[in-house]
């Protein structure tokens, strides 16, 4: 059987450990919250970058199609001019 002094020692020890664990877990939670915020920001930045790249690819495709159309029109105009000049 434990004497009251030993029981008091263990109660104090466990309360001290409980307080220390509470403090440490609170600090861990703060770090995890900061990490979560940072990762959320990075995720948004990556998403925005992916959307910007997709928009750029779409614009480039349209610009290429417009350029091809203009070149075809230019070739047609040259052909017409050559026909007119040959007559």
Answering whether pTM is above 0.85, one says no
Helix/strand/coil (H, E, C) string of 20-82? HHHHHHHHHHHHHHHHHHHHHHHHHHHHHHHHHHHHHHHHHHHHHHHHHHHHHHHHHHHHHHH
Tell me the pLDDT of the chain averaged across its residues: 94
User: How far is it, in rounded angstroms, from Cα 59 to Cα 63?
Assistant: 6
- pLDDT at position 77, please? 97
What is residue 44's DSSP assignment? H
Average pLDDT over every residue of 30-47: 96
Helix/strand/coil (H, E, C) string of 3-24? CHHHHHHHHHHHHHHHHHHHHH
- pLDDT at position 18, please? 95
CA–centroid distance for 86 within its chain? 62
pLDDT tens-digit map of 12-25: 999 999 999 999 99
């Amino acid at each position: 059987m434990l004497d009251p002094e030993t029981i008091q020692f263990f109660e104090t020890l466990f309360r001290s450990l409980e307080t220390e664990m509470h403090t440490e877990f609170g600090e861990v939670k703060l770090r995890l919250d900061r990490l979560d915020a940072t990762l959320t920001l990075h995720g948004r930045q990556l998403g925005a970058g992916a959307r910007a790249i997709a928009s750029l690819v779409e614009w480039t495709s349209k610009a290429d199609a417009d350029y091809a159309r203009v070149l075809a029109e230019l070739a047609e105009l040259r052909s017409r001019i050559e026909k007119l000049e040959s007559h």
